[in-house]
Structure 1
Amino acid sequence: MRFLACAFIFVLFLLPVEKVIANEVQTEEIKMKRVEMDQYALENVEKLFINELKLESLMKYLNEKVYQPPINAKLDRNGEVVSGKPGVSIDRNQFHIGFREAFYNKDIHEFQVPVKPIYPRVDKALLIEISQKQLGSYVTHFRQSNKERTTNIELAAKAIDSHVVFPGELFSFNTVVGERTEEKGYKRAPVIVKGELAEDIGGGICQVSSTLFNAVDLKGIEIVERYAHSKNVPYVPPGKDATVSWWGPDFSFKNKYNQPLLLRANALDGKLVVRVYSSDIVEHFQKNFK
């Protein structure tokens, strides 16, 4: 007998939770019983087939339960590598195989949902490789006495520190730094709005985006999006600033080198330093990345 491609969904009755290791990733083990599998047969065909739409919904639900994002390796302030950590997700291919085997074999009374590790894009070896050659740097200064603004600068600098931009990849300041909120520790500090000084959460981070803009002003980097403030700012020369806002302007650029770029940012003792590194074999790649 020929069977159509099939699938299912089921209400999960989790067995007592155990911890399992998937290549160094610790996650919860999820098992399904026979009664759960049987109730997801396609209707009106004598339970010969599985409902594909329900299967997709099921796998999405299960993945939300077990998913853990990978953590990239990074460099600390002393240049020492802090190892990353793999994440975990549902193994979709093995899920399809294993469930079908269990669904059609009534002697199988239990099916364990398979998981797999998700390895981080940035590991120790890559960080060491792309920290060999400094391509650019820029320094600005700030008043430490303004503690709220200093806090915001330190948080934004930490967010972009150790970030890796791969060849052809777009770096977005807003995406990498994320929304500036009180929950993340950002403070109310002066900002420029339509040429006037005001106060808002995250005031001061435009100094970080502006310092970054000047550090990445290199032949192998394409500035994609940059906006100037409505009035001059004191920390960079006129025309050398890059304003950002979560609900407004972003600063973004594309890596057109043949190697990944490593960003280092440090705000300490009233000095903000942003440096750009890469491999010692880095060169401007002429291909027009889309």
Structure 2
Amino acid sequence: MQAQIPPSALAEAPLPASPLASPLEPAFLGRPFSRGDTASTLRTIVALMLREMTTRYGRSPGGYIWAVLEPLGALLVLSMGFALVMRNPPIGTSFLLYFATGNMPFTLYSRVDNAVSRSLGFSKPLLMYPSVRWIDAVLARFLLNSITSMIISFILLTGTIVMTETRTVLELGPILTAMTMAALLGMATGLVNCALTGLFPVWDMFWGMATRPLYIASGVLVMYESLPRVAQDVLWWNPLLHIVGEMRTGFYPTYNADYVSMSYVLLVTLALLALGLLLVRRHHLTILYD
């Protein structure tokens, strides 16, 4: 004879776990990090990078070719436009090289900033799995976009030097420093924007309007030395201006960028990075599921 279960026992028994847990349950906090978890973390990051590569470039004809053609077209248009107005660039003899040395670090920063700020939303379906943490999504987008932008920059700058015959003497130290700091600054501002946009959606529109003049204010088109003294005192606080100046010192040995302070850029980057990590760690569940 089958035993009867009293109703009170049924009421007190725990419900079976749902395959789709609530966003606030511990499963959605992601796996805790440990020393033995490094291999799993690397596999997760690589898988997220491959997913983005397939999503962004795998479905379009030409794939990664467009990633090179787009910035190349922008450089050619800028060079031809300014060549019609000015006889010589502010430094050097090639308009193409002048714009490339300013545009490449700025594009790297912008690309990483935009990718990291949207990393949680981009990988939201995968963050439902306990094996995927929010930091994995951030690092995957940071690494993929940084590597892609640096490869594109290398191709464009090499092609520019070969085609224009500038006979420039390269210094790899300032070039690598500028590109690395541009990527790290992009990650730092991207994390802060990720948190602020997730908590206050209007922030995305405000940030877009506020940074629209950044291309000019960062010294990509106009040299810092050619600006009025009042503008120099204000724009000096823009870390991208220092990064662009450092980049150009690696291509123009005679260019003396006295205003550049990479220690200031590093300080700003570390402060924003710490703030961004703190905000996203504290509010990533709210950003994902509210």
TM-score, with length taken from structure 1 = 0.23
Larger helix proportion of the pair: 2
